[in-house]
Amino acid sequence: MNQTDVIEPIHETMEEMYVNMGPQHPSTHGVLRLMLKLDGEVVTGVTPYIGYLHRCHEKIGENRIYTQVIPYTDRLDYLASMYNNFGYVLTVERLMGLQVPERAEYMRVILAELQRIASHLIWMGTFGLDLGNFTIFMYCFREREKILDLFESVSGQRLNYSFYRIGGMPLDFPESFLTECKAFLEWFKPRLPEYDAVMTDNIIFQKRVQGLGKLDQKTAIDYAISGPMLRGSGIKWDLRRNDPYSIYDRFEFEIPVGSTGDVWDRYMVRRQEMDESVKIVEQALRDLPPGEIMGKVPKKLRPPAGDMYSRVESPRGELGFYIVSDGSEKAYRYKVRSPAFVNLSVLPVIGPGHLVADMVAILGSIDIVLGEVDR
């Protein structure tokens, strides 16, 4: 049982060809390896091989005290570091029963939703790249750059923020942040129709993605798909609404859903989520109360013995943290349920039957970040 039986292809026939897509390939978004079985250009089978970026995240988490783990969580989904921080500190707070001050909650939501926009922007840009549209990539990065400027003004970092703290936030917003953030939103809102002009309304783009990689609701639940992929299949499920954490129950926003679960639906869900995130940020900025930003937290964090699984809706889906505490300063067991890991596992189901070019589009629509898949 210890020895693995490898299903690598050995016997190629004249009809079938095996192609290794990755670990170095421009469209696998990192070091993912897909073994494609091709009949001409039609993919008849696909097996993902992951783990090239495995860096013992969970083992490290067991050997650091609770606060020291926060910077490591940045490196999970490095396109949405704020959200990883959010999920982690939320789990520890729930484990310890800590209260977070009001202002800190609002700060968290503002930063998290800006992060969601930034993450979706990257996704949109790279998705355009997968389909051969390079220009949208540059447009998206222009906007993301502005969000990163905002984050830099808050945390001093542009990618791995490590900005959330257990029990609150370490620093208040700088004075200029509120005006800058509002200015950004005003500037950003007219940009979205620009993307529509380049991508959404483009007939070539529509023809390329419609009807591809259909994921029906039954399969989606069977594979525990989450996030925009699940909503693309027409299931109105968003943890911000259905299992509210932090203060998400105070905001009004729509949950965009698709109908058929194809790549187009997933695209549209993410595209519309950007609109909704803008709404949430605007509401949060409007209601942002003054006050403390750090709650009462003991000097040494020793959560009571017990375990806790808590989840947040990251830009990619359900980001869960399972922490087992034995009452000491370090987690006894620290496990990350990464949405991209779970969402990627459905690829062998929705991939086959398409052309190689579509395979790239389907993989792009899953929106994986290998830092999170491999941990």
Partner 1 sequence: MSTLLEGFYSAFAALGVPWIVPRLIVMLVVASLVIVFISVSVMFMIWWERKISAHIQVRYGPMRVGGWHGWAQSIADGIKLLIKEDVIPAGADRLVFALAPMVVFAAALAAYVIIPFGPNLIVRDLNIGVLFYISISSLTVVGIVMAGWSSNNKYSVLGALRSAAQAVSYEVPLVVSILGVIMTAGSLSMIQIVEAQQRIWFVIPQFAGFLIYLTAALAECNRLPFDIPEAESELVAGFHVEYSGMRFAIFFLAEYANMFTVAAIATTLFLGGWRGPLLPPWLWFLIKTYFIIFVMMWLRWTLARLRVDQLMNLGWKVLLPLAFLNMGITGLVLVLRG
Partner 2 sequence: MTAEEIIQTIRSQFGEAVKASEVKGVEARMDVERGKSYEVLVALKGMGLDYLNCISSVDRIASGELEAVYNLSSLNEPAKAMVRVRVPREDPVVRSVVPLWSAADWHEREAYDLMGIRFDGHPDLRRILTSEDWVGHPLRKDYQDERLVPYEPA
Q: Which residues bind partner 2 (CB under 8 A)?
A: 1, 4-7, 50-51, 54, 56, 58-59, 62-63, 219, 221-224, 235, 237, 242-243, 307, 309, 311, 318, 320, 322, 324, 332-333, 335, 337, 341-342, 345-346, 349, 374-375
Residue 83 region, left (φ>0) first, then alpha (ψ -120 to 50), else beta? alpha
In the complex with partner 1, which residue's Cβ is closer, 108 or 354?
354
**80: contact with partner 1 by CB under 8 A:** no
In the complex with partner 1, which residue's Cβ is closer, 220 or 360?
360
**148: contact with partner 1 by CB under 8 A:** no
- Residue 327 C-beta: closest distance to partner 1, Å: 51
User: Does residue 365 contact residue 266 with C-beta atoms inside 8 Å?
Assistant: yes
Token duo for residue 99? 């209260």
In the complex with partner 2, which residue's Cβ is closer, 4 or 179?
4
**192: contact with partner 1 by CB under 8 A:** no
Which of these ranges, 80-88, 115-123, 340-348, 356-364, lies near partner 1 under the rule CB under 8 A? 356-364
- Enumerate the β-bridge partners of residue 21: 34
Give the contact letters, 10-29, x = binds to partner 1 (CB under 8 A), - = no: -------x-x-----xxx--
- Enumerate the β-bridge partners of residue 17: 38
**207: contact with partner 1 by CB under 8 A:** yes
User: DSSP class of residue 249?
Assistant: G
Candidates 280, 360, 362, 370: give the one binding partner 1 (CB under 8 A): 360
Using the structure block, give the residue that is written with the tokens 């939703």. Answer: 113
In the complex with partner 2, which residue's Cβ is closer, 187 or 309?
309
**Of 171, 188, 63, 51, nearest in space to 118 by CA:** 188
In the complex with partner 2, which residue's Cβ is closer, 57 or 271?
57
Q: For 302, phi and psi rounded to 5 degrees?
A: -130, 90
Alpha helices in the chain (DSSP H): 57-62, 66-74, 81-96, 102-130, 135-155, 177-188, 191-195, 203-209, 217-222, 228-232, 239-242, 263-287, 339-344, 347-350, 356-366, 370-374
SS3 assignment, position 353: coil
**358: contact with partner 1 by CB under 8 A:** yes
Which of these ranges, 127-135, 239-247, 262-270, 285-293, lies near partner 1 under the rule CB under 8 A? 127-135
- Residue 272 C-beta: closest distance to partner 1, Å: 20
- Residue 111 C-beta: closest distance to partner 2, Å: 25
In the complex with partner 2, which residue's Cβ is closer, 180 or 243?
243
Token duo for residue 152? 């830099």
SS3 assignment, position 56: coil
Q: What share of the chain is helix, strand, coil (3-state, %, to 5)?
A: 50, 15, 40
198: partner contacted, choices partner 1, partner 2, none (Cβ within 5-8 A by kind): partner 1
User: Does residue 234 contact residue 256 with C-beta atoms inside 8 Å?
Assistant: no
- Binding-site ranges for partner 1 (CB under 8 A): 17, 19, 25-27, 41, 128-135, 137-139, 142, 198-199, 202, 204-205, 207-208, 355-360
